[in-house]
Structure 1
Amino acid sequence: MTAQIEGFYDTATATVSYVVFEAAGGPCAIIDPVLDYDAKAGRIRTDSADRIAGFVQSHQLHVQWLLETHAHADHLSASAYLKDKLGGKIGIGAQITAVQSAFRDIYNLEPSFLLDGSQFDKLFEADETFHIGKMEVKVLHVPGHTPADVAYQVDRKDVFVGDTLFMPDVGTARCDFPGGDAVLLYVSIKRLLALPPETRLFMCHDYPPEGRDVFWRTTVAEQKAKNIHVNDTADLQSFVRMRRSRDSNLSVPALLLPALQINIRAGNLPPSDEIGLHSLKIPLNRF
């Protein structure tokens, strides 16, 4: 059965979230949902997540999974909110524990914060399989952007790549976050590009060059032929040199500090204080 895929583009963060399902009335997975955050006011909204929830409800879908490709630095995860609203289990790659360890120290988180990934319902090991209804999903460990990045391969036809690849005219993801590694990213990309050429690849972001509309679907064949950073002619040394040079000139994502302390908690807010107030930490001079 061919997967039905609905993409939701969030303009504020250039993020694409997905609902993946077999047919109306059946089970589905939600991938990389966005929780809206107004950094100036410190205010959270659920408009983007509610759009997804509206689609799920209008198609009478049953949420089986809420899947994260990694702990995002550019948006807050809406997985916990959607789980409360729609049900389902939150899954992420097992290496999230390495990301939790790095950012616990950066934020000096509360002693009760656990580094075992137990904030999530399921930690996926590399090459593990599970199902969305009758559709088999294989978890591809694709580290490089972070140690915990995974891609989800649905029925061998469609792959949700997270931040490992972008559209061919945009290139590849940065590797300068804690645990990032340009060599590992190159190896991960080559694994994806070794899939059959007709395999469809679904991006987590699109930052279109001027004159191009937003688009988030491509194929292995198109990436191999046209990706500006890692096509068939790009070798490891030139890619690593390019990636490190490029990353050294990139600014820190605007929502990195708010986002990571929520995303390593599976989208849950930090514990409230004695008056019931949830607060985020902004550590100074760490990036």
Structure 2
Amino acid sequence: MQGVFLPRLREPVRTIAGRTFDFDRQVAVMAVVNRTPDSFYDKGATFALDKAVSAVDKAVADGADWVDIGGVKFSPNDGEVSAEVEADRVLPVVEAAVKTGAVVSVDTFRASVAEAALDAGAHVVNDTTGLHDPALADLVAARPHTQLIITHSLAKPRTHYPQPQYADIAAEIALFLRNRVDVALSRGVQPGQIIIDPGHDLNKNTYHTLELTRRLSEIAEVGYPCLAAVSNKDFVGETLDRPHGERIAGSLAAAVYSILQGARIVRMHNVKESVDAVRMTEAIIGWRKPAYTVHNM
């Protein structure tokens, strides 16, 4: 299809949380809900439990397919957050989110938090540290109806990685992800449980992230559904000279371009706008029928 990259995916049809997703012809919108006091996007607006639960409900009402819940920032700038504190933050939100019928993922690098979240009903482990702890793979392998997101990230969890360098960023990300997928498979995770994420902005500068987005098809060729977490990130702000709160248009452009290059899940903050952009993209590609047709009919 001209202008659209269609990766050959291993097991593109996935049943998650009782819902079937065909990633050969479908894009899932993942909403973001962070229970952190100073998250980079909302500055703690959903830190209070009632605010976090309300944010989950609104995201689902606005059309989100997935809800990603986190209790610790990727950046280490907020100091140490123990596993106990992280679990206390995320578990009540996971329990509330499961009741909505959405796919629920937990954004964590800790096996103990992931296990507690899965026991509470979460369906996906979203590890943004490149499977730094292979025990996360063991948890998913023991639960065949769950999914594991493996993300490209060079640093150890919650450590700085100043001035990263890449000779060929798309090729290096693809190789990294293939290697980490092999680790997951060696520990019993099935191909139909694996999702990959190139890690926009994670241990990368804006030039790196722009290039990996431009060449995302080379990463999607790894052969598993590819997640693009592009929403409101610094590469959008630095490219457009826009502060947080003024990056929606740039984020939507990055999400749509990523879909055309093979992304099948987009992680977004502004859910209603993102759902419209994704559904319109699906319709243009030919995967989705219009909601109705009256014009010139």
- TM-score computed with the length of structure 2 as normaliser: 0.33
Bigger fraction of residues in strand: 1
Bigger fraction of residues in helix: 2
- TM-score computed with the length of structure 1 as normaliser: 0.33
